[in-house]
Amino acid sequence: MMDKMIFGRYIPGDSVIHKLDPRVKLLASFYFIGIIFLCNNWQSYTLMFLFTLLALSLSKIKPSFIINGLKPLFWLILFTVVLQILFTRGGEVYFKWGILSVTELGLMNGIFIFCRFVLIILISTLLTLTTPPLSLSDAIEYLLRPLEVVKFPAHEVSLMLSIALRFVPTLMDETEKIMNAQRARGVDFGEGNIMDKMKSIVPLLIPLFVSSFNRAEDLATAMEARGYKGGEGRTKYRVLKWQSRDTLTALVFVVLTVILVYVRN
Amino acid sequence: MDIQFEQVGYTYQPDTPFAFCALKDINLTIKEGSYTAIVGHTGSGKSTLLQHLNALIKPTAGVVKIGDRLITTDTPNKNLKEVRKEVGIVFQFPEAQLFEETIEKDVAFGPKNFGVEGEELKKVVRDSLQMVGLDDSYLERSPFELSGGQMRRVAIAGVLAMKPSVLVLDEPTAGLDPRGRKEMMGMFYDLHKEQGITIVLVTHLMDDVANFADYVIVLEKGQVIKQGLPKQVFTDTQWLTTQQLGVPAATTFAQQLMARGFQFDTIPLTTKELAQEIAKILRKSGEQV
């Protein structure tokens, strides 16, 4: 069911991007998404596209695979772009019908929105494709730590995050298993009218919740038995290391920003 | 109803970097009324193969024939209910599939999906619960207040209530105590003997294979590497050891006796056979003295 969806998955690899510190990758992705909104002409978008393509090619992930991964989001993008084109007014009018109109500004906006969408999806896909979920949660913990000053439970949040990430595949397997078991008992998932569909979810959801409760209880017991008492005084097994390539990445982003500010109107 | 595999292959997530070939060129027949055991390592493709037996997944290559139905890659998902009614699957740890408020409702869930109603439904539920050793006092209880072993029984009753003609069991006794295991296996064997139900058993317990099965299929890395009668499969004990598959306890014991000079006519697979063979040998040596 989720076969086609690559958004949010990790593909093991050995590229430069894979080896970057997850903190850099996480911050850089957010930063990149932030500066996309600075773009306001085709030169700036071209610049961003070139940069993204460079990053993608450095990751050594098959392009066809990334394109396939974008397909499920195609309708969402198309929908937004069409709305933009039909409802934005300004500049030369090419076509008009009732409240719908295709104008110069509308077309421009549509194209820009399209570019933004694709860029954001590409860069966040690149982040998750090249970073193991656990490294990502380590990075989040590190970046949240300053907030402990204002009593923010950084350790607990990151613990929950890493447990959640760890159990995503397990729960997916479990879902698949229970679905199969219920299908073998004659349930047709995704068939009939909307009421039938909703009813058929019950034999899937209840066992899933029940098993999650059981799992949570078992996990908590196992953690306590192994001496877990909370975040205070714990040492770390995976230590994040900042290397020269990470500094370099940061520099690249500074250069990118400078050029971007230069080329935008 | 025979189930036939013709050059069946299955690949998970084809055309992605996660593509994984779980089954390759499988050719086998599960005969009507047989008790077939499927053995192999964890990850040898047993569970994938099981799901082909009632079209939960469709082969990415080849054809699966379930009775008169042909299941190929292009078979649509519609109208597979008849197949699922005929072939009941008890998955590993089936207690995870319980969800209704009462045991009665949960056991009735399967047959209800296949259109059984009214008095017949009630009778079917009672009968199946009885088969797994639970009396009528359980009907109104919630399945979630039971012990793990009892939940397992309820789940199995839920599958039996569909009255399948082929019953597929994926390690049905994993995690049960010895007594529960014995009762459960005995119950399946009785069903097979008395009602002629075809049984497909996936297990790691070679003793169960020796005691019950009349046909064995050995899987390794998604391929059938051996199939035949238990006698044929278990004869080559050396080969089984290199495949890291066990031999029944009785056979191991017989081999140790053979190393000390005993001569068996046939290699015993079950304790009963072993006892008979030893008795035979003792009688013979008695005559000589």
- Interchain contact, B96 vs A181, CB within 8 Å: yes
- Between CA A197 and CA A253 the distance in angstroms is 48
HSE on the CB side for A230, CA within 13 Å? 3
pLDDT at B209: 93
Beta-carbon pairs below 8 A across chains A and B: 67
pLDDT at residue A6 in the model: 58
- Cβ separation of A202 and B89 shorter than 8 Å? no
Give B84's contacts in chain A (Cβ within 8 Å). 183-186
Region B93-113: what's the mean pLDDT?
93
Give the span between the Cα atoms of B36 and B215, in whole angstroms.
Answer: 5
The yes-or-no verdict on residue B135 having pLDDT over 70 is yes
> For position B111, what pLDDT does the model report?
94
Contact between residue A135 and residue A10 where contact means Cβ atoms under 8 Å apart: no
Closest alpha carbon to A11 in A122, A138, A126: A126
Distances (CA, A) of A98 to A87, A95, A216: 11, 10, 57
**pTM for the structure as a whole:** 0.79
pLDDT tens-digit series, residues B196-226: 999 999 998 999 999 999 999 999 999 999 9
pLDDT score at A2 = 47
Q: State which residue of chain B sits closest to A129, comparing Cα positions.
A: B17
Q: What is the pLDDT of residue B108?
A: 95
Indicate the SS3 state at residue B131: helix
DSSP-derived 3-state class of residue A233: coil
User: Which residues in B lie closer than 8 A to residue A8 (C-beta atoms)?
Assistant: none
What is the Cα–Cα distance from B268 to B25, expressed in whole angstroms? 32
Q: Provide the pLDDT for residue B88.
A: 93
Closest CA to B158 of B92, B91, B106: B106
Give the residue-averaged pLDDT of B147-172: 93
Cross-chain Cβ contact A181/B97 below 8 Å: yes
Any idea which residue has 């299908």 for tokens? A183
| pLDDT score, position B289 | 59
Q: Output A194-203 pairs: Cβ under 8 A, ≥24 positions apart.
A: A202/B99, A203/A178, A203/B97, A203/B99, A203/B109
Range with the poorest average pLDDT among A203-212, B51-60, B256-265? B256-265
Q: Kindly list the distances between the CA atom of residue A226 and the CA atoms of A167, A219, B130, B231, B254, in Å, as whole numbers in the listed order.
A: 19, 11, 43, 48, 45
Whether A81 and A68 have beta carbons less than 8 Å apart is answered as: no
- A89 Cβ contact partners less than 8 Å away, ≥ 6 residues apart: A101, A103, A105, A106
Whether residue B49 is predicted with pLDDT greater than 90 in this model: the reply is yes
Interatomic CA distance for residues A243 and A103, integer angstroms: 50
Q: Which of residues 22-51 of B touch A (CB under 8 A)?
A: 51
B192-231 core/surface letters (b: 16 or more CB in 10 A; e: else): beeeebbbbbbbebbbbbbbbbebbbbbbebbbebbeebe
Domain boundaries, chain A: 1-131+243-265, 151-234
Residues of chain A with pLDDT under 70: 1-8, 91
Residue in A6, A191, A207 nearest the CB of B97: A207
Name the closest residue on chain A to residue B15, using Cα atoms: A65
Q: What's the number of CA atoms in the CB half-sphere (13 Å) around residue B236?
A: 12
3-state secondary structure of B266: coil
Minimal CA separation from B91 to chain A, in Å: 7
* Mean per-residue pLDDT of chain B: 90
CA distance B159 to B114: 12
Backbone torsions φ then ψ of A98, nearest 5 degrees: 60, -130
B233 CA: distance to closest CA in chain A (Å): 31
B11 confidence band (pLDDT: 50, 70, 90): very high
Q: B97 and A202 in contact by Cβ < 8 A?
A: no
Contacts of B85 in chain A (CB under 8 A): 186
- Sketch the domain layout of chain B as residue ranges: 3-247, 248-289
Q: Beta strand A93-97 with A100-103: parallel, antiparallel or unpaired?
A: antiparallel
- The residue in chain B having the minimum alpha-carbon distance to the alpha carbon of residue A65 is B16
A181:B91 CB<8 A: yes
What SS3 state is found at B114?
Answer: coil
Which DSSP category does A150 fall into?
A: G
**Confidence label for B18 from pLDDT (cuts 50, 70 and 90):** confident
**Interface with B, mutate which of A185, A213, A217 (most B CBs under 10 A):** A185
pLDDT of residue B197: 94
Residue B99 pLDDT class (50, 70, 90 cuts): very high
CATH number of B3-247: 3.40.50.300
